[in-house]
Amino acid sequence: MKNVKDINFSEKKVIIRCDFNVPIENGKIIEDQRIEESLKTINYILEQKPGLLLIISHLGRPKGKNVPELSLEPIQRRLAELVQREVFLIKTLDELAKTREGNSEQIYLLENIRFWAEEEDADDDFARKITEGFDVYVSEAFSASHRDHSSISRVPEFVEEKCAGILFKNELDQFMKIKNPQNHPAVAIVGGAKIETKLPVIKNLEKNYEHILVGGIIANEALDQGLEFGEKVLLPTDFKPDEKSRLDIGPKTIDEFKEKIKEAKTIVWNGPLGKFEDEEYAIGTKEIIDAIVSSKATYKLAGGGESIEAIKKFSDFSKFDYVSMSGGAMLEFLAGKELPGISALN
C-alpha cells in the first residue's frame, strides 16, 4: 500500500476521500475532530500544488436521497476556515465535470456522496464518472473503509495512482499493533451495545489476548443468551443497581477487571461498561478508564464513538497512546474481517 510520501502530487488532479461524518445539530458542527485530523493530508497535498483537488465525504445515512439537513454546507464552511482557502461545494456531476477547468488555489468539495444512490450500490459507472480527468485517489477515510461503497472500493480502481492518507495509514498502523500485540499480557475490554458486531471481535481477540473483559449491554445479552466463552473471557459477576436492572458493572466486577488491567502490557478498550451518561451508572466506566490510565501498559488504545465521549468526560486523550477516529471499521478490523477500503488500496 502506498502512502502520500510515495506520490508526487504536483500538477496532478487529486481526489481525497475523507470521513467528515461528524455530529451536526441545527446546521452547527458539534465536534470536528475528524475534519481536523484530515488536515495534515490535505495541507501536504496542497503544498505540492496539485492541478486540482476534489474532496469527497459522506454525512449520515440519507439513503440515496437529497436530505437538506445532511448537506455538507456546514463542513464546507469549517473546512474553508481551517485551510484558509475557498472551498466550493459541488452539487451535481455536471458541475463536477466543469471543475476540471478549475485551478489549484481552490478546493472542491462534492456534496454528500450518499445523496447518490449509486454510492451504496458500489456502482462502477458512477465511480468512472467521478474519476473522469482525475489522476490520483487518496483515502483518508479509514473509519468508512468497512463499507463496500463506490467512493471507498470502486473509485480507486479508475485512477492511475492511489494511496493511503496520513490519518488512514496511522489508524492502520495502530490497529496492526493491537491485532497482534507485541507486549503481553494483552488485555481487551469490550463493552457497549450491538452484540452481533462485538461477538466476532471477542472471538477473534481470544486468539492473541490473555484476557478479554466484557461489560455493558453486550455482557448482559451474553448472560441472558447463555453464550459460552473460553476461560480468557471474563463476564461481570455483579451489577448496579441490581441483578435485574443491569445498568452498570458492580464493585466486585470492577475489582476483578482492575486486577487484570493492572498487570497488562497492552490494553485495547472499546465500549462503555455501563450507562455512563447517567452519573449513577458511570462508576464502572470511570473506574475502568482510571485503571487503564494508571496502568503501566506500554500501549493503550481506545476507540468507538461513545467510548471517546466517556474519555472526554472522565479523562483525557493524552493519557492514551492512541484514540481512534474509527468505530465500526476498527471493530471489523479487530474481528479479522477484510475491509473493502483497505483491499482497494493494495
| Residue of closest CB approach to Mg ion | 305
Stretch of 15-23, 96-104, 238-246, 302-310 lying at the interface with Mg ion (CB under 5 A):
302-310
112 counts as binding ligand 3PG under rule CB under 6 A: no
- Between β-strands 28-29 and 136-139, what pairing exists: parallel, antiparallel or unpaired? unpaired
Taking CB under 6 A as the criterion, the residue among 2, 85, 91, 194 binding ligand ADP is 194
User: Binding partner of residue 209 among Mg ion, ligand 3PG, ligand ADP, none, CB under 5 to 8 Å per kind?
Assistant: none
Bridge partner list, 189: 213, 269
| Closest CB to ligand ADP among residues 37, 111 | 37
Residue with grid cell 459541488, as numbered in its chain: 90
Q: Interface residues for ligand 3PG in 322-341 (CB under 6 A)?
A: 327-328
307 counts as binding ligand ADP under rule CB under 6 A: yes
Give the Cα separation of 318 and 311 in Å (integer).
Answer: 10
Q: How many C-alpha atoms does 339 have within 13 Å on its Cβ side?
A: 24
| Closest CB to ligand ADP among residues 295, 307 | 307
DSSP letter for each residue of 163-191: EE-HHHHHHHHHHHHHHS-SSSSEEEEE-
Give the DSSP letter of residue 154.
Answer: I
Give the Cα separation of 18 and 140 in Å (integer).
Answer: 5
Q: Interface residues for ligand 3PG in 147-176 (CB under 6 A)?
A: 147
Q: Interface residues for ligand ADP in 2-61 (CB under 6 A)?
A: none
Stretch of 140-148, 157-165, 190-198, 333-341 lying at the interface with ligand 3PG (CB under 6 A):
140-148
Strands (E), the chain: 13-17, 24-25, 28-29, 52-56, 87-90, 107-110, 136-139, 161-164, 186-190, 211-214, 233-234, 239-241, 246-249, 266-270, 299-302, 322-323
Contact set with ligand ADP (CB under 6 A): 191-194, 216-217, 220, 246-248, 270-272, 274-277, 304-307, 327
Contact set with Mg ion (CB under 5 A): 305-306
Contact set with ligand 3PG (CB under 6 A): 19, 21, 61, 143-144, 147, 327-328
